[in-house]
Amino acid sequence: MSCPGFGELNIPSSRAFWDDCEEDEFENVEPAEKLQLKFDDSEAVNPIASEHMIIIESPHIAHFASSALLQDMKRICKIPAKDSALYWQPSKLQLLAILEDDLTKSGEVTELLIPYARLAKKVTTLTLKPKVDYKSEEINKYVDEIGIVRSVGPNLANVQELEAPNFIAGVAAGIASWRDQEQTPINAYVIYTDKLPLDGTAAQPVLKLLQKIGLSCNSSYVPARKDSSYLYM
Amino acid sequence: MLHLKSKGKELNITEYTVIIPSICVGNAAQLACDLLIASKQLKKIGSLTHPALIPVYGPSAYQHEPNEKVTSCELYESVEDKLLVVQFRAPWISRHTRDFQSQLVALLKGARRVVILSGSFGFERRIIEESPWAYRASDNFKAAHAEQLGNPEVIKWKEHTGDIIYGGGNGLQLFQAFNEEGVQVMLLFRYLLEGDNSTDASLIVRELNELCEDFLQLRSGGDGSFKLTVPKSWNLLFGNDVTELMF
């Protein structure tokens, strides 16, 4: 009986690069083309001064955003990270960035959104992560929680602060970090949720937090119907 | 982009030793820098942002600075010891790395000397009896540290001459970039394997201190030993406890 792979050296890939690159390929990597926001209206290219800029970042966020969050919102531009976009609500002077999780482009997208964050009076970020990413010495306390809500640093919503070694990563983290370095107000939240993409139950803590921070949104969410299920039927 | 807490526009590091980790196998070099920052209670003076760096934001990684926030690239300083430690907390994006690296070199080239820490896959060490350490140093670094590097009682490292350090991340490219600028630079790496690399991290710190106490200013208590502090961000390094529901 043979043993497949026996004696073969399985060389792990480099830890240095997030994207697919190895040490011996690094010299041949082409420099990146600069990303740009794609504006719907060519006259609206200047950054908007808002009362409140809200950034929501998560994997598979598009349907949740379009069905529960975007009432009376006008899309300003597409953000070059999967299906991400920036929306504007003139009546409340609110900017809402809906960001699909795309870490490869997150540093560059952060730079594209900094002009908006610079002009905003108040900035709030919300990152959604799977619950399995949450680290705690008392993890058994959270077994039955649908969502674990935390904030990075003090916040206005009386949410418990995130503890090391947990952290957030991505555009929301970039903007929060930039505002913090500029010593301007920032509220950064993270929800570790039981289910991504969100379903009706997992969306509840998210909607509650968004209402608390002043975003007009529905009180419930009905996920898109799928033709296939996870069950073998 | 450099963000200094002092709101200054540039770093004044003329007499400084700069320690930079490369993102290597087992993240051993970053762990070594973590130990150094926590043990010497270095002060965060700023951070760097660039499209090559995945943004990171979270609670402080160290007990001695509980109100700080972690970011993807941080700068820690000891004014007294003239030591600057760079810490990375995320892997890089390869297509932006060249630009970031050239900006990093431009920022730090005024330093007295630069030490890059790294690691390489253990199976790349072809002769098992050889030292688990290897180094690469610029000519001006060798000249300035001839006494230490030439002392076989202290230094048993092998000089690396290859073109690639497998598992060493961008350490060698960074070394070459500093060397081209005429900066005194040394790349020190250890052959190691993925796993619990906290021991490798402390060995890297101790080995570097052995070469020259002047690099790290880790002073012994008289018996040749010094105490390293483990940062709080090392809690749960391998994840949560197994949930009770499994049983």
Domains and CATH numbers, chain A: 49-212 (3.40.50.10900)
Instruction: Judge whether A118 and A128 are in contact, CB under 8 Å.
Output: no
Decide if A159 touches B, using CB distance below 8 A: no
- Number of CB pairs, chain A paired with chain B, less than 8 A apart: 181
Shortest distance, CA B235 to any CA of chain A (angstroms):
7
- Residue B152 pLDDT class (50, 70, 90 cuts): confident
- Interchain pair A15, B47: CB under 8 A: no
The dihedrals phi and psi of A153, each to the nearest 5 degrees, come to 85, 180
d(CA A206, CA A99): 15
- CA closest to B58 among chain A residues: A167
Residue from B20, B94, B163, B238 whose CB has the most chain A CBs within 10 Å, to mutate:
B94
Residue partners of B197: CB distance under 8 A and separation at least 6: B26, B27, B28, B31, B119
pTM reported for the whole predicted model: 0.92
Q: Tell me the per-residue pLDDT of B62-95, one tens digit each, with 9 for 90 and over.
A: 999 999 999 999 999 999 999 999 999 999 999 9
Give mean pLDDT, residues A52-74.
92
H-helix segments, A91-134: 103-119
Shortest distance, CA A215 to any CA of chain B (angstroms):
23
d(CA A131, CA A137): 14
- Residue A164 pLDDT class (50, 70, 90 cuts): very high
Angle, CA A100 vertex, CA A123 and CA B72 arms, to 5°: 65
Q: Which helix (H) or strand (E) holds B88?
A: strand B83-88
H-helix segments, chain B: 28-40, 94-108, 139-144, 146-149, 171-180, 198-211, 213-216
Going by C-alpha positions, the residue among A225, A119, A229 that lies closest to residue A182 is A119
Decide if A135 touches B, using CB distance below 8 A: yes
Decide if A221 touches B, using CB distance below 8 A: no
pLDDT at A9 over 80: no
Going by C-alpha positions, the residue among A93, A105, A88 that lies closest to residue A39 is A88
Q: Which of A22-36, A124-138, B53-67, B71-85 has the lowest mean pLDDT?
A: A22-36
Q: Tell me the per-residue pLDDT of B91-124, one tens digit each, with 9 for 90 and over.
A: 999 999 999 999 999 999 999 999 999 999 998 8
Instruction: Judge whether B215 and B46 are in contact, CB under 8 Å.
Output: no
Residue-range domains of chain B with CATH = 16-246 (3.40.50.10900)
**Number of residues written out for chain B:** 247
d(CA B162, CA B172): 10
pLDDT at A72 over 90: no
